[in-house]
Amino acid sequence: MSIWLSVPITGQSEGAMESLVPAGTNGTNGPARKRARATTADSMATTIRNLVRLALSNAAQVRLLKAAAIRTLLFPADNPTFMAAKQAGARYNEMAQQRGGQTSLPPPHLAVFTAILQAVAADSQVPPQIAAAATTMLANTAQLPHLIFVCKTSKCFDKNKGRLEVALHPQCAEFLEGCTRTWVQQGAREMSGPAPRGPLERILADTLTEG
């Protein structure tokens, strides 16, 4: 036998049922959604911070590899060799702008290094064997793309100095060493170890510190 009990819902019963609903939810999952949004925001912030850390780590490794593979020298801005390299880079930029991408040019580092070879060959302070090697390389320009990997100039914070970065094939190591000794005697300074952080790296590092 089944017994059905019918109980009328009164105002007191409704109040009791409403008391079972967590305060501030209005019968919905509002706080849960807020917590989910907060968790998502925290996760995104953590991801961004990790990406910044990864970028800084990669940049540090690049600076380390660059220090191992590329020789960097700081020249007096009026050094003849540095001036020749800088002017060659400026001429290359002008030619590239005039052509507007319609005609291809050789890589810029070849133009800069060719100017350095010409300056070395004409420099009376350079040892004769180094000057002769520069002349030989100028006579075989078709081989230069296989010998020159990096050669570029850039500005320094000190306007009285300029930076030269160069990397040659190992078979040119003796030639580059002879040039470097001469340049150091003329007032240049070879930099060793990784370069300091650049402006963008410092900005990223500051965001981690501030966070």
**Predicted local distance difference test score (pLDDT) of residue 43:** 86
**Predicted local distance difference test score (pLDDT) of residue 33:** 64
The token pair at 12 is: 């007191």
**Predicted local distance difference test score (pLDDT) of residue 138:** 97
Predicted structure pTM score: 0.74
**Predicted local distance difference test score (pLDDT) of residue 209:** 85
For the chain, counts of helices (H) and of strands (E): 8, 4
Q: Which amino acid is at 90?
A: A
Contact 156, 191 (CB under 8 A): no
**Predicted local distance difference test score (pLDDT) of residue 2:** 45
**Predicted local distance difference test score (pLDDT) of residue 182:** 97
**Predicted local distance difference test score (pLDDT) of residue 98:** 87
**Predicted local distance difference test score (pLDDT) of residue 42:** 78
Residues of the chain scoring pLDDT < 70: 1-38, 41, 101, 211
